[in-house]
Structure 1
Amino acid sequence: MESSKVKRFGILTSGGDAPGLNAAIRAVCRTASIQYGMQAVAIHNGYRGLVEGDMEELAPSSLVGLLTEGGTILGTSRDKPFKNPVPDAESGLLPIEAIKENYKKWNLDALVCLGGNGTNTTACLLSHEGLNVIGLPKTIDNDIVCTDMTFGFHTALDVATDAIDRIHTTAHSHSRIMVIEVMGHKAGWLGLYSGIAGGGDVILIPEIPYDINSVAKKVMERRDAGKNFSIIVVAEGAKSKEEALLDKKAFKKARAEMPYSIAYRVAHELEQATSLESRVTVLGYLQRGGTPSSYDRILATQFGTAAAHFLAEGDFGKLVALQNGKITGVPLDMIAGKVKNIPANHLMIETARELGTCLGD
């Protein structure tokens, strides 16, 4: 076995689940064990488990069959120990103090944190507190900066595209406007890519505020050309031009007061503007669940094996990232608190426009 600066490390998954998490866990732990003789410690339910000390040594037998399994065997939560920290009722410890206690109690030399923007922001803060941390980029939104791709995105893209394909047949049969809502709260990568792959006539994403009149014009142009249906792909974070003028607090308040998701509002607005029947499909958690695609299995495995090498080398405070086809490490300080939005001149934006797809502006 090769020498390593790490003997024991904790591993956790935090935030929303995504296809490929178990493949990444398997890759980190197997490589760390086979190549370096490290012991992995499973931390259950994300950062909550790190605060509560909900941990156990991970046996090699626990990794069998994980490559194709969806979800996460470690469990997950959206707990953020640095946000509005409250002392524990029994111990009186703040979350970060409890984390340090458990890190020491379990004789951990490092942590591997698998997750999206929030997870890696917390990982960065833990690094600032003196813990040895490595992050892995997981999210179906593909919105983590400094990495070309996150694992989970391609599987969600396949699911969303398949759904749009299936809805096409119903739309054509019933001469309806079909509004399909996909995930993408702050960034529209999934909506844009699935919309193009599925032949969407209109694609609405957070980066391009929409004018419902422009969308209605596209639908009516299709009707006048003898096309009796339209496919509208809407990212959950899509916003109107009026909403785009609101500050963050006002926008959040407006969305909290909205009685339904954005797809229902768009469908209602289109019915009023065109007098054509509209129907809504919200894909929701279907996009996050199930077996990861081959691409996500491979990408998660590449990230996981690289993380094991980072551990052995003591290369901490990094996110394992994909840049120009190569696996590299990016300082977590460059990731924390940031979102990778789609640039206005992105190739896929230009491709959509050249196809005649309406982007709502």
Structure 2
Amino acid sequence: MKKKVLVLTGGGDCPGLNAVIRGIVKRAKQEKDWQVVGSMEAFNGILRDPMEIKKLSNRSTAGIHVKGGTILKTTNKGNPFDFPMKNEDGSVTIIDRSDELIEKIQDLGIEAVISIGGDGSQRISQKLFDQGLNIVGVPKTIDNDLSATNYTFGFRTAVQIATDSFDKLVTTGESHHRVMIMEVMGRDAGWIALHTAIAGGAEVCLIPEIPYDINKVVKHINQRYEKGKGFANIVIAEGAKSLNTKIVSKESDETGYEHVRLGGVAYQLSEQLKAAGCKADIRETVLGHTQRGGTPVASDRVLATLFGVKAFEMILNKEYGKMVSYLNNEITTVSLEAATSSYNYVATDSFLVHAAKNIGIAFGD
């Protein structure tokens, strides 16, 4: 009888998830006594009645590494420790189903679990490991906000998508002598915005780590116009805020969604610029979920595949309670505890910020 490893994808979707799944399956195929199964929509597939799990084979995963999204689907509303259960009257009760989850996994004869997800997913992995589940993690986030790995797959694709969009805004901004504001993802960390600003040649980059002074931003834009450069381009992360405002967000009405919903800071910035005396025409673009979709770039496919291979080999070696990591050009492992102990913010004194400032990009500080 073959041993089983369960694979799941949790949290937001991300280019490269399918490449990880394929990497796991192809590596497992080299071992004659292992079978890979997938849970649909993270742990929800196990907790549903009837369960939604599927066998994963070379045939079912052939060619998926070039596709965005995840063939196992995903959710950020299925925390087994705070699971939303609908009552007959339509109300919702939050309950802890973690013991039930572990029991169901064991009843299926599953040896271990590979959880592909970001910070929130790996915190859940740590708690399940503490309760006795054999589990390993694979880091996934377009925000690149896990500190225990140099890069996460999906980040480079998101930056490429944002840069391609920014390049298009430069030409239309120049043609109309406008200030173009492009909002990108980045709830608490400004990695996508910062990389896009450098790659695209932005005049202004606003990130969560550096609260901006709107008067300094306007001064920088006005100086550009005074020099005869009749347009300006701004990249702003969705979690950015000025010295006098909070992040633009609203409470989610989605059952089980644990975060506030961000989006719209580009429009707030537009109004701030006008109020502070910016005379130029201003247009706003919010990229939103386009950054999560589409074909992963080659480097993300490679990194995701390496992560998948390493994750399965961690199962073979019984290295549970750990997460795959890319550190100093090596694929290695770190404990789940270490992986989630600190958040990967952009360091304001980093060479990346230093270089951006010294090529003329303003942060409003």
1:44 pairs, out of 40, 51, 54, with 40
SS class of match (1:203): strand
Match of 2:226 among 221, 224, 227: 224
Q: How does 1:137-216 map to 2 (within 5 A)?
A: 137-216=139-218
Question: Judging changes above 3 Å, is the alpha-carbon distance between structure 1 residues 54 and 168 closer, same or farther for their aligned structure 2 residues?
Answer: same
Alpha-carbon contact 2:150-2:327 (below 8 Å) kept: yes
Q: Hey, what does 1:336 align to over in structure 2?
A: 340
Q: Quick check: 1:186–1:339 contact (8 Å CA) kept in 2?
A: no
Q: Is the 8 A contact 1:36 1:312 kept in 2?
A: no
Q: CA offsets, 1:207-235, max 9 Å, x none?
A: 10111111101100001100111001000
Looking at structure 2, the residues matched to 94 and 158 of structure 1 have their Cα atoms a distance apart, in angstroms, of: 40
What secondary structure is seen at the aligned counterpart in 2 of 1:328?
Answer: strand
Partner residue of 2:30 out of 28, 34, 37? 34
* Aligned residue identity for 1:60: N
Query: Residue 21 of structure 1: CA displacement?
Result: 0.4
Write the letter of the residue equivalent to 1:227: K
In the alignment, residue 104 of structure 2 is paired with which amino acid?
A: N
Counterpart of 1:20 in structure 2 is 16
Shift of 1:151: 0.2
Deviates more, 1:81-90 or 1:348-357: 81-90
Quote the Cα distance in structure 1 between the aligned partners of 2:71 and 2:340.
Answer: 26
Pairwise CA distance, 1:335 = 2.1
Deviation at 1:85, TM superposition (A): 4.3
Taking a change above 3 Å as real, the CA distance of residues 294 and 209 of structure 1, as seen in their structure-2 partners, is same
1:296-332 C-alpha deviation (Å, 9 max, x unpaired): 0000011111111101000111110000000111000
For 1:272-283, list aligned pairs within 5 A: 272-273=275-276, 274-283=278-287
Q: How large is the RMSD of aligned CA atoms in angstroms?
A: 2.1
* Residue in 2 that maps onto 1:255: 249
The letter of the residue matching 1:330 is V
CA contact (8 A) 2:11 2:75 kept: yes
Deviation at 1:165, TM superposition (A): 0.6
The answer on whether the counterparts of 2:81 and 2:96 sit within 8 Å (CA) in structure 1 is no
Larger helix percent = 1
Alignment of 1:122-141 (within 5 A): 122-141=124-143
Cα separation, partners in 2 of 1:260 and 1:67, compared to 1, 3 Å: closer
Aligned CA distance change for structure 1 residues 240 and 83 (closer, same or farther; 3 Å): farther
The Cα of 1:50 is off from its aligned counterpart by: 3.0
Aligned residue for 1:61?
A: 59
Within the candidate set 97, 100, 111, 2:99 is matched to 97
Partners of 2:32 and 2:275 lie apart in 1 by 64
Q: TM-score under structure 2 normalisation?
A: 0.90
Contact 1:118-1:337 within 8 A present in 2 as well: no
| Equivalent residues of 1:203, 1:358 under 8 A apart | yes
Look up the equivalent residue of 2:301 and give its one-letter code.
Answer: R
Any conservation in 2 of the 1:271–1:277 contact (CA below 8 Å)? no
Aligned twin of 1:70: 68
Which deviations, in whole Å up to 9, do the C-alpha atoms of 1:154-188 show, x marking residues without a partner?
A: 11111101111111000000000000000001100
Q: Partner residue of 2:329?
A: 325
3-state SS in 1 of match to 2:29:
helix
Corresponding residue for residue 246 of structure 1: none
Alignment CA distance shift 1:101-1:93 (3 Å): farther
- Quote the offset at 1:271 in angstroms: 2.1
Q: Distance in 2 between matches of 1:323 and 1:32?
A: 24
Shift in CA distance, 102/195, structure 1 to aligned 2, threshold 3 Å: same
Q: Extract unaligned runs of 5+ from structure 1.
A: 1-5, 244-250
Rounded Cα–Cα distance in structure 2 between residues aligned with 1:260 and 1:154: 21
Give, in angstroms, the shift of residue 89 of structure 1.
Answer: 6.4
How far residue 36 of structure 1 moved from its aligned partner, in angstroms, is: 5.3
Displacement, 1:198? 0.3
2:307 matched residue in structure 1: 303
What corresponds to 1:247 in structure 2? none
Q: Which of the pair is proportionally richer in strand?
A: 2
Stretch of structure 1 that moved more, 78-87 or 330-339: 78-87
| Structure 1 match to 2:255 | none
Which amino acid is the alignment partner of residue 323 of structure 1?
L
On the 8 A contact 2:82/2:97 being kept in 1, the answer is no
Out of 153-162 and 29-38, give the one that drifted further. Answer: 29-38
User: Take 2:263 and 2:68, find their aligned partners in 1: how far apart are those partners?
Assistant: 29
Normalized against structure 1, the TM-score is what?
0.91
Amino acid across the alignment from 1:287: Q
Identity %: 39
Equivalent residue of 1:166, what SS? helix
Q: Tell me the distance in 1 between the aligned counterparts of 2:358 and 2:348.
A: 14
Give 1:80 deviation, angstroms.
Answer: 4.2
Residue 126 of structure 1: how far off its partner (Å): 0.8
Letter in 2 for 1:315: E
Query: What is the SS of the residue equivalent to 1:139?
Result: coil
Distance 2:76 2:263 in 1: 23
Separation in 2 of the partners of 1:47 and 1:186?
26
C-alpha deviation, 1:41, in angstroms = 1.1
3-state SS of paired residue (2:319): coil
Name the count of aligned residue pairs. Answer: 347
Cα distance between partner residues in 2 of 1:62 and 1:259: 36
Q: Is the 8 A contact 1:27 1:305 kept in 2?
A: yes
Report deviation, 1:337.
Answer: 5.8
